[in-house]
């Protein structure tokens, strides 16, 4: 338990003399330590399994129960002291005996059994949740168990270090500004609990201020190291969590993307600088191309996902910039951690600047060479109106015409009719869109369930679905009618955040794209024109494509979202939405310049400051920066530790007496520093007889409190009496005035 009394040896500061003392956590410090545990675990709680959260909650409740019992024991001990007042030595002996009895440690056998069962559960579920979450389970489980055996300073330090490890582990999953501020606040709280152990006489708020001051002093060194220290790659690879992957999947079936609309998590941001942001209907953020269809779901073709095939090579798309007259649109994308590899682009696009860690894939998409476990920044130039994929190999054409025969017979029959009635490819595609627009189709986030994901059942029976339903049915119809077609998944649109109030196409700034912006559309191939984007959603819900979600869809999404303060509810409150956008802008700059600070940005910064860089110049910059920073810190500490006159912290009775002297000084009666309390009391009797009685009583109480050995209860009683005497003194002065 975190409330024990054990003999330890410690050295007083500056004195090489061992004194026998007891490690003791007061009830206040014990509750503060318990509160730190609750908050530290809460920060990383979303990454833990439900059963582990249940175990941790049980352990924390058990600790709270033991702390509550210790309070009752202390109360019983005080009652025992009141009933029987022993001598000084006897009282000390009984107090120690009571402390040892009131804090009985939890049985080691019970703790061992509890620990073994927890470790067994972690081992059994390791394969299911992944190695990263299993390691987090073990860390948090040991953190709450360690609190039951804090019997010395060493145990106390180990518990605090485990708490700091838990806070650091939460940064694996989130590095945004909100998470950083929360973790920094909890770091201050944890260190203040440590400082409270050595400064127990001070208030906890005062210790918090000390920790904030120390962290502020160390911030200078941290900033210098951040700027000048080489951006080295980690010497280890953080394992991925199976439950951590967010966003789109490379396997899509009808209804999948509709589930993403319940998530208000940020997917990525795009900064267009001083360029005009394209119209909403052009913001099709391409992520994956799905070409394989087995009758139930769409998947990436093997050549798109060849990283799963040993020795396979992906043929990247080729886009000759010199052959197009379209002006490029240059922008920077900052992708949030998704624990996947796909990136986002407005096709067709080419990577510019530092493109290390980015690979162009077939299908005019981009992938990261490593899993996105932290924010990823990259730059692209897009040629939005330029044709792409004009030449299509016979193998690719056959792949984009294939479909499982007799999987959806009614759609196949309709496709044959379309092929017979419309020879022109675009007319055939437009006929399908017209059919969707005129018939009683509905665009909804809660589509009816389909038997085996049947497209026939959706298109002819339920006629209600989300973007994937319409894109799947349209792509199937195109293939069955003899037109090469494929489905593309990504995101549509984004929330504008800039200096202007209106959301017009000529605004400059950045876009925030959230998971609920996930979208699916189709592409058909026309000879001589290449791949053309066809979005069937525009036929059933034009507003979704032109400007964003309709009011009906927002209401439907709000009903599905159970968050008390969801993003949609915040958007409806004008001042709250404005505040949210301001914080989003700050968070974007934090992600761009702090989280995304890489080797190239560091090199460009040095080059801007110091000109052309060389190895010796870089080493000299690092050395000088560190020396200057350390010199500034040493000078600051020297000035801080300069001896200066400080007013000693006064007790309550000293403050009362000082206030009475202040009142007398206003009447022209000052007390010399060398004069004793009794002599000054006699002087007051001579010069102000009307104050003699009340001031003499107040002075006598002050002398008693300062120079007589009194118990804590007697001191409190006499201090209270002195407060009443001061009130009488004030009344007497008012009557004499």
Integer CA distances (angstroms), 348 to 285, 389, 472, in order: 11, 9, 23
- Inform me whether the pLDDT recorded for 690 exceeds 90: no
- The three-point CA angle 46-48-50 to 5° equals 95
pLDDT: which is higher, 196 or 86:
196
CA distance 726 to 735: 14
Q: Strands of 152-271 (E only): list them.
A: 251-252, 266-271
DSSP β-ladder status, 442-443 and 376-382:
unpaired
DSSP-assigned letters across all residues of 608-632: HHHSS--HHHHHHHHHHHHHHHHHH
- Inform me whether the pLDDT recorded for 91 exceeds 50: no
CA distance 730 to 708: 26
Counting Cβ atoms within 10 Å, is residue 165 exposed (0-12), middle (13-18) or buried (19+)?
middle
Q: pLDDT by residue (tens digit) across 38-79?
A: 999 999 998 899 999 999 999 999 999 988 887 655 455 555
Mean pLDDT, rounded, for 390-398: 90
Beta carbons within 8 Å of 601's beta carbon, 6+ residues apart: 593
What pLDDT is attached to residue 238?
64
pLDDT: which is higher, 264 or 189:
189
Lowest mean pLDDT among 477-491, 555-569, 574-588, 662-676: 555-569
CA distance 146 to 157: 11
Mean pLDDT, rounded, for 416-432: 95
On the CB side of 294, how many CA atoms lie within 13 Å of its CA?
10
**Which pTM value belongs to this model?**
0.71
Structure tokens at 643: 């001896």
- Inform me whether the pLDDT recorded for 8 exceeds 70: no
Mean pLDDT, rounded, for 448-457: 88
State percent of the chain over pLDDT 70.
Answer: 82
DSSP-assigned letters across all residues of 698-734: HHHHHHHHHHS---HHHHHHHHHHHHHHHHHHHHHHH
What pLDDT is attached to residue 520?
95
Report phi then psi at 650, rounded to 5.
-90, 150
Lowest mean pLDDT among 188-197, 218-227, 514-523, 694-703: 218-227
Q: In DSSP terms, which residues pair with 182 in a beta bridge?
A: none
Question: From its phi and psi, is residue 656 left (phi > 0), alpha (psi between -120 and 50) or beta?
Answer: alpha
State percent of the chain over pLDDT 90.
Answer: 36
What pLDDT is attached to residue 462?
92
Q: pLDDT by residue (tens digit) across 253-308?
A: 887 887 787 788 899 999 998 888 899 999 999 999 999 999 889 998 764 444 44
323-340 burial string, b = 16+ CB within 10 Å, else e? eeeeebbebbbbbbbbbb
Beta carbons within 8 Å of 229's beta carbon, 6+ residues apart: 622
Run of H or E residues at 193: helix 177-198
Integer CA distances (angstroms), 85 to 79, 82, 314, 407, 589, in order: 10, 6, 87, 92, 66
Mean pLDDT, rounded, for 497-517: 68
DSSP-assigned letters across all residues of 639-703: HHTS----PPPPPHHHHHHHHHHHHHHHTT-PPPTTS-HHHHHHHHHHH-GGGHHHHHHHHHHHH
CA distance 267 to 336: 6
What pLDDT is attached to residue 621?
78
- Inform me whether the pLDDT recorded for 235 exceeds 80: no
Tell me the pLDDT band of 430, cut-offs 50, 70 and 90: very high
Structure tokens at 463: 């006629």
Judge contact between 410 and 459, C-beta under 8 A: yes
- Inform me whether the pLDDT recorded for 663 exceeds 80: yes
On the CB side of 262, how many CA atoms lie within 13 Å of its CA?
11
Report phi then psi at 203, rounded to 5.
-70, 155
Mean pLDDT, rounded, for 465-474: 94
DSSP-assigned letters across all residues of 84-138: S---HHHHHHHHHHHHHHHTPPPPHHHHHHHHHHHHHHHHHHHHHH-HHHHHHHH
CA distance 421 to 412: 14
Tell me the pLDDT band of 502, cut-offs 50, 70 and 90: very low
- The three-point CA angle 542-499-352 to 5° equals 75
CA distance 73 to 523: 75
DSSP β-ladder status, 464-465 and 442-443:
parallel
pLDDT: which is higher, 415 or 309:
415
CA distance 200 to 669: 39
Run of H or E residues at 523: strand 518-526
Q: pLDDT by residue (tens digit) across 15-33?
A: 333 333 456 778 888 999 9
Integer CA distances (angstroms), 626 to 225, 256, 629, in order: 8, 53, 5
- Inform me whether the pLDDT recorded for 102 exceeds 50: no
283-322 burial string, b = 16+ CB within 10 Å, else e? bbbbbbbbbbbeeebbbbbebbbbeeeeeeebeebebeee
DSSP 3-state of 50: helix
What pLDDT is attached to residue 450?
87
- Other CB atoms within a 10 A radius of the CB of residue 709 amount to 6
- Inform me whether the pLDDT recorded for 595 exceeds 60: yes
What pLDDT is attached to residue 374?
82
DSSP 3-state of 594: helix
pLDDT: which is higher, 338 or 611:
338
606-645 burial string, b = 16+ CB within 10 Å, else e? beeeeeeeeeeebeebbeebeeebeeeeeeeeeeeeeeee
Diameter over CA atoms, the chain: 124
Q: What is the mean pLDDT of the chain?
A: 82
DSSP 499: S
3-class DSSP string for 273-303: CCCCCCCHHHCEEEEEEECEECCCCEECCCC
Structure tokens at 271: 């900064």
Run of H or E residues at 160: helix 153-170
Q: What order of strands is seen across the sheet that includes strand 284-290?
A: 345-346, 284-290, 485-492, 518-526, 530-534
Lowest mean pLDDT among 155-164, 381-390, 649-658: 649-658
Q: pLDDT by residue (tens digit) across 294-333?
A: 988 999 876 444 444 333 344 556 566 666 778 899 999 9
Cis peptide before 348 (omega within 30 of 0): yes
Integer CA distances (angstroms), 723 to 358, 663, 692, 719, in order: 74, 15, 17, 6
DSSP-assigned letters across all residues of 330-382: EEEEEEPP-SS-B--EESSEEEES--TTEEEETTTEEEESS--SS-EEEEEEE
What pLDDT is attached to residue 616?
75
């Amino acid at each position: 338990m975190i409330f024990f009394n054990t003999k330890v040896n410690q050295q007083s500061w500056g004195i090489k003399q061992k004194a026998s003392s007891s490690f003791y956590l007061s009830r206040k410090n014990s509750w503060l330590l318990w509160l730190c545990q609750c908050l530290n675990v809460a920060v990383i709680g979303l990454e833990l399994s439900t059963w582990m959260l249940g175990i941790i909650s049980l352990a924390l409740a058990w600790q709270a129960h033991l702390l509550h019992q210790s309070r009752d024991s202390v109360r019983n001990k005080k009652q025992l002291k009141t009933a029987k007042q022993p001598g000084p030595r006897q009282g000390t002996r009984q107090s120690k005996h009571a402390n040892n009895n009131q804090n009985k440690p939890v049985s080691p056998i019970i703790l061992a059994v509890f620990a073994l069962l927890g470790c067994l559960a972690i081992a059994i579920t390791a394969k299911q949740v992944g190695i990263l979450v299993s390691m987090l389970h073990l860390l948090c489980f040991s953190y709450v168990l360690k609190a039951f055996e804090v019997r010395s300073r060493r145990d106390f330090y180990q518990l605090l270090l485990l708490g700091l490890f838990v806070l650091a582990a939460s940064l694996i999953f989130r590095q945004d500004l909100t998470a950083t501020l929360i973790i920094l606040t909890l770091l201050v709280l944890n260190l203040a609990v440590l400082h409270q152990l050595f400064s127990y006489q001070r208030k906890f708020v005062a210790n918090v201020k000390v920790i904030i001051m120390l962290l502020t002093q160390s911030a200078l060194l941290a900033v210098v190291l951040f700027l000048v220290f080489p951006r080295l790659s980690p010497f280890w690879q953080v394992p991925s969590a199976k439950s951590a992957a967010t966003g789109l999947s490379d396997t899509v079936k009808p209804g999948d993307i509709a589930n993403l609309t319940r998530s208000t998590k940020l997917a990525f941001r795009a900064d267009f600088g001083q360029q005009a942001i394209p119209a909403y209907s052009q913001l099709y953020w391409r992520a994956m191309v799905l070409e394989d269809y087995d009758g139930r779901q769409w998947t990436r073709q093997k050549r798109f996902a060849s990283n799963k095939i040993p020795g396979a090579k992906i043929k990247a798309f080729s886009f000759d910039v010199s052959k197009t007259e379209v002006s490029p649109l240059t922008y920077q994308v900052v992708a949030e951690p998704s624990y996947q590899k796909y990136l986002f682009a407005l096709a067709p696009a080419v990577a510019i600047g530092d493109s290390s860690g980015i690979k162009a894939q077939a299908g005019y998409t981009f992938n990261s060479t490593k899993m996105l476990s932290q924010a990823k920044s990259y730059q692209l130039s897009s040629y939005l109106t330029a044709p792409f994929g004009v030449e299509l190999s016979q193998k690719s054409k056959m792949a984009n015409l294939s479909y499982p025969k007799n999987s959806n017979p009614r759609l196949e029959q309709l496709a044959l009719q379309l092929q017979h009635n419309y020879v022109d490819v675009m007319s055939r595609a437009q006929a399908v869109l017209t059919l969707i627009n005129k018939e009683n189709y509905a665009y909804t986030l809660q589509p009816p369930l389909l038997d085996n994901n049947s497209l026939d059942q959706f298109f002819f029976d339920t006629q209600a679905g989300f973007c994937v339903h319409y894109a799947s049915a349209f792509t199937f119809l195109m293939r069955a009618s003899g037109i090469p077609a494929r489905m593309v998944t990504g995101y549509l649109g984004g929330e504008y955040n800039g200096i202007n109030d209106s959301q017009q196409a000529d605004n400059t700034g950045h876009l925030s794209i959230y998971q609920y912006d996930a979208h699916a559309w189709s592409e058909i191939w026309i000879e001589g024109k290449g791949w053309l984007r066809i979005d069937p959603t525009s036929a059933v819900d034009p507003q979704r494509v032109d400007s964003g979600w309709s009011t009906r869809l927002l209401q439907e999404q709000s009903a599905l979202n159970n968050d008390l303060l969801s993003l949609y509810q915040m958007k409806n409150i004008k001042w709250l939405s404005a505040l949210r956008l301001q914080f989003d802008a700050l968070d974007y700059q934090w992600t761009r310049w702090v989280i995304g600070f890489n080797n190239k940005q560091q090199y460009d910064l040095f080059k801007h400051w110091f000109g052309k860089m060389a190895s010796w110049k870089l080493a000299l910059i690092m050395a000088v920066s560190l020396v200057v920073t350390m010199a500034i810190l040493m000078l600051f500490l020297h000035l801080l530790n300069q001896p200066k006159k400080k007013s000693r912290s006064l007790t309550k009775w000293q403050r009362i007496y000082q206030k009475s002297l202040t009142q007398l000084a206003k009447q022209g009666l000052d007390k010399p520093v060398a004069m004793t309390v009794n002599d000054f009391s006699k002087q007051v009797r001579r010069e102000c007889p009307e104050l003699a009685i009340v001031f003499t009583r107040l002075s006598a109480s002050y002398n008693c409190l300062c120079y007589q050995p009194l118990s804590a209860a007697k001191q409190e009683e006499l201090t209270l009496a002195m407060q009443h005497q001061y009130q009488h003194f004030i009344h007497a002065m008012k009557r004499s005035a």
